[in-house]
Every structure is written in structure tokens, then in C-alpha cells.
Amino acid sequence: MEKAASFLSSLLGGGGGDAVPAGDPAATVASILIYPIKSCRGVSVPQAPVTSFGFKWDRQWLVVNAKGRACTQRVEPKMALVEVELPPEAFDEDWQPTPDSCLVIRAPGMDPLKVPLAVERATLDDVSLWEWSGSAYDEGTEAAEWFSAYFGKPTRLVRFKEETEIRPTNPDYAQGYKITFTDCFPFLIASQGSLDALNELLKEPVTINRFRPNILVDGCHPYSEDLWKTLKINKLTFEGVKLCDRCKVPTVDPERGTFGTEPTETMLTFRSGEVIRPSHKNKQKVYFGQNLVCKESVSAKGKGRIIKVGDPVYVLQTYPSSNEAPA
């Protein structure tokens, strides 16, 4: 892996903790990706408002089994084939759903399912996702029958109950922030440069949807985002709180809904803890992307909290190296 070796200096090298001048953007927002249903396909949008939970509509819905446990691509790779669609205006800052507004869901061999956005629902108790358990809105019989038919076993669709439920982020990395049905943190950032560098090493290139970031940036060196401690996008302050260690989801082929071995097999040669975090444990974890929180999300609601494609990204503080970044 000669090419992999050539990346090591940038992977382990110094951001030195120096701030980038405010007038010199480190990158540009190339794509914004929202995943309304956890583990299903995302939607690319031109802009997204920032809420107290993350981007508006991100991981608002969850597919659960008969026991109320979350279903994800880790066990159900066919979830990668489930497409979702929201009204385009849903990503305007002040938009509110009308009685006719729907989340539209499609999958191979299935008729489209329309889930109303502004209908009162019953509550389903004992819903669980990782360490969290609580109540959620049940999206009803039609949705349950649709997902049960698709997966071939009893399944329901639920929506996060923002009014009463709280899922805090891991306080060891970020205190005072909350999430809906995301895994751990409200935002995930990755760069096109990182993806391009990875694809140079793969026999078959992969797309960014393997890694499911919310913010894809372009114009920076590969894996620069490892070192981003404080950044500004459209006057919003984001903190890089934890390198994203990857589970088996990146090995799911998003066009076939099947497991493989790549890109994890190749990433182990140059993106493992052993390589980029040699003084830490978890040597066999692989890392791609940086988890973020947004400082403004915890304060009272304000106007203008929105990220747009094309926004410059200003890096104000960096970690000295990947080895010293939290993970």
C-alpha cells in the first residue's frame, strides 16, 4: 500500500493548533445531506435549518421491530434501498406542514407510502435505540404494514417525540446537547478530499453515501477535518467533538443493499487507530469524518440559523494531530 503510506504525514501531521485567518476559508460546503428515516437513504438539499436537535428533519423517524428495538443497516442492509422525499419547501426556515404535506417513502417492489406530516398520532412506549429508551409517535397501521411487507417481519415506523423525550449526547465529549434518532451527535462532517483519497486506493470507488455525513465540504486536503476543533459556517459555531469511528454500515452497497468488505478492509491499512491514533486503544477501529455540535443550537431559538451549499467554512482552531483529537 505505497499510496496509503504517502498519506501518513498529513494524517498524523500538525495542524499545530494555529487558527486559520478568518478571511481565508478552509473549505466550502459542497453538499448538505439529511436522513429523515434513520438508516434509510438521505436527501441532498440546498440548505438546512439548524434546530436544537441538529438539522431540521434529520433522523426524525425510526424503523423498529416487534419489540420496539431500532432497525439499522447493521442488521437490515435493505434499508439502504429505501428512498424518502420531503416537500422541497420543508427546508425553508419558517415552513410549517399543511394537512396535505407528506413524507413519501419508496422501495423496490413496493407502492409509494405517504406519511402525513401534520396528523396527530398515538404514542408507542418502550421504543429503544442503543442505550436510550422512551416513547415515540406511532405512524400508524398503513406504515407498519408497508415496512412489515418490505422486511418480511413485523415492523413499525415511529417519529421522535420532541415535546417530551430527550436523548443527550455523550457527556464525555459534548455536554448540554441533544439528538433525535442519530447515533451519537447532531452533525457529521466529511470532505470530498478524504473520499477522493480513499477512492485512489480502492479497486471500485465508493460514493459518500456510504459514510452518511450531514455536511460534505470540498477544497481542503484529505482528512483535514480530523483536526477541526472550532469552525464557523454562516456565523454558526461548530465544535469538532469526536472522530467518527465506523461500524459496518460503510460496507453496505447502497445500490444493492448487500454487505461487502470494502471500504473498511482498505481503510484498516491507513485509517485505523493503530495508524492515526497510535498512543490510544481501539487499534482496529477505522475513522472517517468528524462529529460536530453547534453552539447556537442550545440557546433560545433565533433567526438565520441555516447552512447553505456554497457557504465558506472557516476553521478557527485545530487539534495538533489526529492522535490528539478526541475519538
How confident is the model over 208-235, as pLDDT tens digits?
999 999 999 999 999 999 999 999 999 9
Tell me how many degrees the CA angle 170-175-178 measures, rounded to the nearest 5. Answer: 70
Give the C-alpha separation, 318 to 325, whole Å.
9
Alpha-carbon distance values, 111 to 38, 87, 150 (Å)? 20, 19, 10
Give the C-alpha separation, 240 to 267, whole Å.
21
Give the C-alpha separation, 327 to 285, whole Å.
10
Note the Cα 294 to chain centre separation in Å.
Answer: 14
Locate 46 and state its grid cell.
440546498
Closest CA to 129 of 67, 52, 80, 51: 67
Averaged pLDDT, 250-257: 97
**97 DSSP assignment:** -
Least confident of 4-13, 79-88, 206-215, 233-242: 4-13
Note the Cα 285 to chain centre separation in Å.
Answer: 18
Number of H helices, E strands in the chain: 6, 22
Tell me how many degrees the CA angle 58-61-240 measures, rounded to the nearest 5. Answer: 30
Note the Cα 289 to chain centre separation in Å.
Answer: 10
Domain ranges of the chain: 2-324
Alpha-carbon distance values, 132 to 97, 118, 135, 168, 183 (Å)? 28, 26, 10, 9, 10
| Percent of the chain scoring above 90 in pLDDT | 90
Q: What is the mean pLDDT of the chain?
A: 93
> Does 182 have pLDDT greater than 50?
yes
Looking at residue 22, its pLDDT comes to 53
**172 DSSP assignment:** T
> Does 72 have pLDDT greater than 70?
yes
Give the C-alpha separation, 79 to 325, whole Å.
32
Beta bridge partners of 91: none
Locate 222 and state its grid cell.
484529505
> Does 15 have pLDDT greater than 50?
no
Closest CA to 244 of 212, 203, 196: 212
Give the C-alpha separation, 276 to 282, whole Å.
11
Tell me how many degrees the CA angle 9-12-13 measures, rounded to the nearest 5. Answer: 65
Looking at residue 304, its pLDDT comes to 83
Residue with the larger pLDDT of the pair 238 and 19: 238
